[in-house]
Amino acid sequence: MNKFIKTAIIGCTGYTGIELVKLINKHKNVKLIDLGSKSQFSKEFSDICPEIKLSNKIIIKKNNEIDVSKLDLVFVCLPHIESQKYILNIIDKVKIIDLSGDFRLKKFEDYKKWYNNDHNLPHQIKNFTYGLSEIFNHEISKSQNISVPGCYPTSILIPLFPLIKNKLIKYNNII
């Protein structure tokens, strides 16, 4: 019998959430159990995105009404600041993959500098692994919480990493 990874997507009606629904819907080892939204709840997902044919009928719930106790994994597709507010209620209850910028930076001061906001969970930042699988695959495989890098850092880090690792370039002024 196949064991599926039972998952939910919080923020399923935003751009990132919809793209993630498309990807997970095609994955043979992952099963979408719940979908959450801040404003598009109590509707069937196919009513919001009729072009996506889910393998099972899912009625969208309010983000905070998703029962994480029956899940293996939660994808959080909320904007920064909103993401950490949601994660506050589920941390240590389920594996988390956060697609916002809230847990990407390891220093609280860097978060404040780049996002122009205080972090509400500075003590949790250290509990997230930077999810660039091409570089941190081993760490990701052991992590309970993963913070997905954005598209720009990914596009820059993948080609730069081998150059830095092999000491072919200096990295002190790379932003």
| Cα 145 from Cα 135, distance rounded (Å) | 16
- Active-site residue identified among 12, 49, 77, 151: 151
Active site residue 151: yes
Distances (CA, A) of 102 to 49, 52, 149, 150, 156: 27, 29, 10, 11, 20
Strand segments (E) across the chain: 5-10, 30-37, 61-62, 73-76, 95-98, 129-130, 145-147
* Amino acid letter for position 82: E
* Cα–chain center distance at 94: 13
Q: Enumerate the β-bridge partners of residue 1.
A: none
Catalytic residue annotation = 151
